[in-house]
Amino acid sequence: MKRILLAFVAIFASIYGWAQTTNVDSSSSWSQKDSLSIGLLQRISQHTAPCYKLYPTDNMWTFLELETFSGRIWQVQYSVKGEDYRFKSILNENSMIPIFDTEGEFAGRFELYRTQNMYNFILLDTSSGSTWQVQWSTEPENRGIVRIW
């Protein structure tokens, strides 16, 4: 992974140097360099941060699966007893990114943090600082997510 990242940085440096020497109009080259830099950095961050992460709970059979670019979460339960005991259910089906947000979706934007209560986690939007209380349960009516203001 480090080699891939270093390769991207090397490519970026060579493209950046080439763009500096070939552009004559300084006002247009500034915007071209900016867009090139931003696009490349976004691609690098998307490749280094995972799109999905599994978080263990205190229940040995249950994990929470986080879609790190949208904040969507699933409760994942495995079992050795058979298919009837295995399931995956969604805790929040909508993206947690506000419509007016300019950052948009990117891998690694959301993280989950454990609490002292085994059924509750805190969801953090690392871009805006917004937080939510996430509750999982074996009973569907006790699952959900609530914004912390």
Both tokens assigned to 21 = 């020497």
Q: What is the mean pLDDT of residues 124-142?
A: 95
SS3 call for 95: coil
Nearest to 101 by CA among 123, 126, 127, 122: 127
Tell me the per-residue pLDDT of 47-106, one tens digit each, with 9 for 90 and over. Answer: 678 999 999 999 999 999 999 999 999 999 999 998 988 999 999 999 999 988 888 899
For residue 48, how many other CB atoms are within 10 A of its CB?
14
pLDDT tier, 116 (very low <50, low <70, confident <90, very high otherwise): very high
40 and 57 part of one domain: no
71 and 26 part of one domain: no
Q: Is the pTM of this model over 0.85?
A: no
15 and 41 part of one domain: yes
23 and 75 part of one domain: no
22 and 74 part of one domain: no
Both tokens assigned to 105 = 């979706």
39 and 57 part of one domain: no
| Owning domain of residue 62 | 52-148
Across 26-130, where does the E strand assignment appear?
52-56, 62-67, 73-77, 87-92, 110-114, 120-125
71 and 125 part of one domain: yes
